Chain A
Amino acid sequence: QKEVEQDPGPLSVPEGAIVSLNCTYSNSAFQYFMWYRQYSRKGPELLMYTYSSGNKEDGRFTAQVDKSSKYISLFIRDSQPSDSATYLCAMSSMTTDSWGKLQFGAGTQVVVTP
């Protein structure tokens, strides 16, 4: 079983809809959670970062963490065609041994159609 599970999609939504993405994880030591956006043939770009359970908003993006259920989500409101990309969740325990080591999900391909 992978430490981080993420549905690869593709997830197709019409422009203006809410995009809902999620990841589950098995390692209870994970304390830091991130969402990255990756366009084709490019490196990942950090979108959201959180380390506590609950919601965090940044513009059209909302990250949600439920540590008790080992479940994280990313919501994108008012989606635009430019949001079409692969979204990767990543997490880390940031202990001495795992400092800086991120475990990534497989990534979900999102397509926003005009």
Chain B
Amino acid sequence: GAVVSQHPSWVICKSGTSVKIECRSLDFQATTMFWYRQFPKQSLMLMATSNEGSKATYEQGVEKDKFLINHASLTLSTLTVTSAHPEDSSFYICSATPLAGGADTQYFGPGTRLTVL
């Protein structure tokens, strides 16, 4: 149980295009989903916290107009990287917290590798 999926698993796009990444909790409902990015050989950096039906909360330094987050249901959150540029190339990982779980119970997705040419 407690499986989180991400789609796509990898994507290559041209500079200036927008890319949408989906995060789904497959067998549980998630009150909160988190979006992280991870550069090679570096740690996960929290980008934003997403709650179903409300606006996402972004961490300091993260451009909310560039990284659009929509948490449409208790099982789906999407991250759209708008007008992507090469510096946005990274590994994007989401996590989800079950309705019945504490905030410490986060299940991570497998990640999406974004390469912007």
Contact = CB atoms under 8 A, between A and B. Distances in A.
Interface stretch (A56-64, A69-77, A104-112): A104-112
Interface band, chain B: 20 to 34
B22 to A, nearest CB: 14
Contacts of A107: 41-43
B97 interface: yes
A94 B113 contact: no
Given A43-B109, A44-B44, A106-B43, A100 B93 contact: no
A44 B93 contact: yes
Interface band, chain A: 20 to 34
Contacts, number: 59
Decide if the interface of chain A is mainly helix, strand, loop or mixed: loop
Interface string A14-56: 0000000000000000001010100001111110010100000
Contacts of B109: 43
A44 B103 contact: no
B78 interface: no
A45 B91 CA distance: 16
Contacts of B97: 100
Nearest to A2: B43
Interface of B: 4, 6, 32, 34, 41-46, 49, 91, 93, 95, 97, 102-104, 106-111, 113
Interface of A: 4, 6, 8, 32, 34, 36, 41-46, 49, 51, 88, 92, 94, 99-102, 104-107
